[in-house]
Amino acid sequence: MKKQHSLELAPVGYANGISTQLAAKQAQHGNQARLTTAEKEAIIAEAAQHFGHFLNALGCNWQQDPNSADTPRRVAKAYVHDLWQGRYEPLNNITSFPCDGYNGQVFEGNIPLTSMCSHHHQTILGRVHIAYIPRQDGQVVGLSKLNRIVEQCSRRGTIQEQMTLAIHHMVDQICTGNIGVAVMVAAEHHCVSCRGVKHAGAAMKTTQFSGDYLAQNTDYRSEFYEFCRS
């Protein structure tokens, strides 16, 4: 597998990058170093304290409200373990296998997507379609590993354009020797449906192509779109 730093496009600490705490741990112990349970608990405790101040500033008497008394910790825990998990956990090692002469597309569609808008911290929900073309003497990865890549890139704060590029980059780096990668993301943004214009049901689609998907003399791109439709 490629080193962790080669898989990341965003600067450390940015909403769509790894956290400063994980980056510091990796700088000391290597790119596969992981935060311990105690280190994550320390992040949660500090974040919960600050979220309590945030609620105070909004005029919430959350300490006296039985429904909200533990809300700061719940929110902080959800960010570290779920909503922003990709910022605190490095991607597990991904093994590859010989493709034994196969030279068609490898496609997986309708991969569930859960992410968060870095502008308003509202959820982004949708589906991801991924394909790549291995060389005949190249390597392929286990199908579920594409799901893991989507989880790693999406469980952060982001905008959809950045996330699409990040997924493409990670697939391209991990599927070594490929001759093309294609990614499509279709998602609904709750920052559109819950605030601002308040329009529910609007969907955004983004794509990123490389290699033979951009060539004029192949059918890979149209075949990819057909796979997405079906």
| Mean pLDDT of all residues in 63-82 | 98
Architecture of the domain defined by 96-229: 2-Layer Sandwich (3.30)
- Residue ranges of the chain that CATH labels 3.30.1130.10: 96-229
Distance between CA atoms of 164 and 50, rounded to whole angstroms? 31
The pLDDT assigned to 2 comes to 56
Residue range 198-225, pLDDT digits in tens: 999 999 999 999 999 999 889 999 999 9
Instruction: State the amino acid at position 39 in one-letter form.
Output: E
- High-pLDDT (> 70) share of the chain, %: 98
| Mean pLDDT of all residues in 77-102 | 94
- Residue ranges of the chain that CATH labels 1.10.286.10: 4-88
Q: What CATH fold (topology level) applies to the domain 4-88?
A: GTP Cyclohydrolase I; Chain A, domain 1 (1.10.286)
Angle at which helix 160-174 crosses helix 143-154, to 10 degrees, equals: 140
Asked if pLDDT for residue 1 goes beyond 90, the answer is: no
Beta-carbon contacts of 182 under 8 Å, excluding residues fewer than 6 positions away, are: 129, 130, 131, 132, 207, 208, 209, 210, 213, 220, 221, 224
Residue range 9-46, pLDDT digits in tens: 999 999 999 999 999 999 999 988 999 999 999 999 99
pLDDT band at 3 (very low <50, low <70, confident <90, very high): low
pLDDT band at 5 (very low <50, low <70, confident <90, very high): low
The pLDDT assigned to 134 comes to 95
The pLDDT assigned to 6 comes to 86
Angle at which helix 37-57 crosses helix 20-29, to 10 degrees, equals: 160
| Mean pLDDT of all residues in 40-58 | 98
Residue range 141-176, pLDDT digits in tens: 999 999 999 999 999 999 999 999 999 999 999 998
DSSP state of 44: H
What average pLDDT is seen over the chain? 95
pLDDT band at 103 (very low <50, low <70, confident <90, very high): confident
